[in-house]
Amino acid sequence: SNTLYLRVRIGDIDDDLYAILINDVSEQRRFEAVRRDFVTNVSHELKTPAGAISLLAETITDAADDPDAVRYFSGRITKESARLTELVRHLIDLQKAQTSQGVMNPERISALDVARAGIAANRVQADARHVDIRLSVNGKPVPLDEGEGEDPVEAPKAPAIVADKEAMNTAVKNLVENAIHYSPEHTTVAVGVSEQGGRVVIRVVDQGIGIPEQSLDRIFERFYRVDPARSRQTGGSGLGLAITKHCVQENGGKIAVWSREGEGSTFTITMPEAPEEHGGDGTGERTR
Ligand code: ADP
């Protein structure tokens, strides 16, 4: 609070220290404000589906002898519970990413493995929405699953990065999740891994609804949604991209987005390529 530095007598300390003290206090205050905002947002976000569930459950009790109504209201309960679950799951991810428990454990990993893990986590959703997921390395198509119909001689070399595996998997998982979520049925989501001049790029391209230009630099903020009503309906938490950005940045990478409304969006994660591994084949993949 204010009193902290008002009590410090300026004559007692040198200018540098004074500046640091003030800075510290305002930084801490800013952090406090962000934290308070966050808690308010979270409470609100949790209360909405929780309230809806209990209301819907009451309604079901009243309509118990109407099978159609029961079906309808249980469907809505299922949807609201899914939202609640997703919200909690994202909060845990965010918590992990932002505290010392989320200590990054950098290791040499294959960017292709990361892409595959991110896709695998979304296969059920993709199938349910008839979204076709494609995967490529340096422009060459590869199977979604490791080893599936893969010719070891023909298989393109996957670039390696040094990063926390879990954080990177989470980042790509969230991007693929959004790509599916914000696309109409029977479209394609293309995930590409490529290596260009010492950088590894993981790209997620969708043919979905796109993002309005004025929202592009806000979508990475916690709880920001282009269209809260639509997002609520489809079960978003507004946290996915904030988590993704954090995971990528903590591992020395960058995240970027291009989008055109009605045409689709492209998200890229750019990471430094792992230095050449001595004695290995440079892919960072273990040979079994
Ligand atoms: P949410 O849980 O709402 O999807 P995110 O943080 O993942 O939260 O995304 C924030 C907002 O950015 C979304 O609500 C949506 O409006 C927009 N968005 C994210 N990814 C896409 C995409 N691939 N296509 C269109 N809009 C997107």
pLDDT of residue 71: 92
pLDDT of residue 194: 97
Burial of 225 (0-12, 13-18, 19+ CB in 10 A): middle
Structure-model confidence comparison of residues 167 and 277, the more confident one: 167
pLDDT of residue 82: 86
The candidate with the shortest Cα–Cα distance to 222, out of 203, 252, 204, 244, is 244
Q: State if residue 240 touches ligand 1 by the CB under 6 angstroms criterion.
A: yes
- On average, the pLDDT of the chain sits at 82
pLDDT of residue 12: 47
Amino acid identity of residue 284, one-letter, is G
pLDDT of residue 13: 47
To test the pocket of ligand 1, the residue of 94, 177, 225 to mutate (highest count of ligand atoms within 8 Å of its CB) is: 225
Burial of 188 (0-12, 13-18, 19+ CB in 10 A): middle
Average pLDDT of span 99-110: 75
To test the pocket of ligand 1, the residue of 224, 241, 259 to mutate (highest count of ligand atoms within 8 Å of its CB) is: 241
Q: 169: which DSSP letter? A: H
pLDDT of residue 50: 86
Q: State if residue 194 touches ligand 1 by the CB under 6 angstroms criterion.
A: no
Report ipTM for this prediction: 0.98
Taking the CA of residue 204 as reference, the ligand 1 atom at the shortest distance is 23
Structure-model confidence comparison of residues 142 and 31, the more confident one: 142
Average pLDDT of span 174-180: 95
pLDDT at 203 over 90: yes
pLDDT of residue 227: 81
pLDDT of residue 166: 86
Q: State if residue 237 touches ligand 1 by the CB under 6 angstroms criterion.
A: yes
CA of 219 to the centre of ligand 1 (A): 7
List the helix and strand counts (H, then E) for the chain: 8, 8
pLDDT at 62 over 80: yes
pLDDT at 6 over 50: no
Structure-model confidence comparison of residues 176 and 278, the more confident one: 176
132-155: pLDDT as tens digits? 999 999 999 999 988 766 566 667
pLDDT at 161 over 80: yes
Confidence at 23, pLDDT banded by 50, 70, 90 = low
Are the C-beta atoms of residues 205 and 266 closer than 8 Å to each other?
yes
CA of 115 to the centre of ligand 1 (A): 19
How many percent of the chain have pLDDT more than 70? Answer: 74
To test the pocket of ligand 1, the residue of 211, 223, 255, 269 to mutate (highest count of ligand atoms within 8 Å of its CB) is: 211
Tell me the Ramachandran region of residue 242: left when phi exceeds 0, alpha when psi lies from -120 to 50, beta otherwise: alpha
Q: State if residue 93 touches ligand 1 by the CB under 6 angstroms criterion.
A: no
Are the C-beta atoms of residues 216 and 259 closer than 8 Å to each other?
yes
